[in-house]
Structure 1
Amino acid sequence: MIERVNPPELGKPSGYSHAVAVDKADRIVFLAGQTALNQDNKIVGETVVEQFEQALGNLLTALRAAGGQPKDLVSITIYIVDMDDYKAHAREIGAIWRRLVGTEYPATAGIGVSRLWDIEALVEVQGHAVISTQ
């Protein structure tokens, strides 16, 4: 069972959970960082919004291939090249999250970085999932 934990003593989270507890784990999946690479290993998308959608879609594809669903995500880390640009488009990025994943949010961290492996990449999403097979 996955429980999203958001104590009232902490500020109300928006787009993340403060903690995620797992009582029983049948399968734990560690998801590699995904950028906006397409099947031809080319970065697609000119904007952080376009690249976030592709990167999140790639992460969800890997999760599904491992037998999971978006609701199984318990933790994600988002690596961001331009934090100001990302924050300026937070509503659009949030809408993509809700469309692809829903309104259950994992424990989340956003980290500003100077660059990613592919110089054209603006964002990378990495995560962990817990899949119940019961």
Structure 2
Amino acid sequence: MRTNIDIGTAKGAYTSLVIAGDIGFVAGQGGLDESSSVVPGGIEAETATALGNLERVLAEVDATLADVVSMTCYLADLDDWAAMDAAYRRYFGDRALPARTAVGVAALPFGLRVEITATAYLPGGRGGGRLR
């Protein structure tokens, strides 16, 4: 079974979350506010906002960051890695960290400095058959 859930802040030809069996694939989330504008404050603010956006997508299927098993962080400038990592660690706090890969890219949509994708384990395909 495959379930698509779309609640992203930026509109494009993609779905925010696709559930295939017990696995949820969250599309890239960036540091965009509700009006699809890049949040001010640089890489750390963008990282925290991207993770918050990712949490909102997961919440649509009653999932949390604790369900995430893997993340990929795409950085427009690898020199931002340390600041992104610091914001990431602050956001997670004492929670267990998922496996993570950071990748340097030439550019990201909307002028973003970071975009984060995630894969979550959702026993029973928690999407409940909802299609949005």
- Could you tell me the TM-score, scaled by structure 2's length? 0.71
Structure 1 position 59, deviation (Å):
0.6
Q: CA 1:51 to 1:88, structure 2 compared with 1: closer, same or farther past 3 Å?
A: closer
- Tell me the SS of whatever aligns to 1:118: helix
Q: CA 1:89 to 1:78, structure 2 compared with 1: closer, same or farther past 3 Å?
A: closer
- Tell me the SS of whatever aligns to 1:44: coil
Find the counterpart in structure 1 of residue 39 from structure 2.
44
Find the counterpart in structure 2 of residue 118 from structure 1.
110
Structure 1 position 70, deviation (Å):
1.3
Find the counterpart in structure 1 of residue 69 from structure 2.
74
- Could you tell me the TM-score, scaled by structure 1's length? 0.70
Listed as ranges, the gaps of 5+ residues in structure 2 are 1-19, 125-132
CA distance in 2, matches of 1:82, 1:65: 31
- Tell me the SS of whatever aligns to 2:38: coil
Structure 1 position 79, deviation (Å):
0.3
- Tell me the SS of whatever aligns to 2:45: helix
Greater Cα radius of gyration, structure 1 or 2: 1
Structure 1 position 43, deviation (Å):
1.1
> Is contact 2:74–2:105 with CA below 8 Å preserved after alignment?
yes
Q: What is the number of residues matched between the two proteins?
A: 106
> Is contact 1:67–1:131 with CA below 8 Å preserved after alignment?
no
Find the counterpart in structure 1 of residue 10 from structure 2.
none
Structure 1 position 27, deviation (Å):
2.8
CA distance in 2, matches of 1:118, 1:53: 17
CA distance in 1, matches of 2:119, 2:67: 8
CA distance in 1, matches of 2:70, 2:84: 22
- Quote the RMSD (CA, aligned, Å): 2.1
Structure 1 position 88, deviation (Å):
4.5
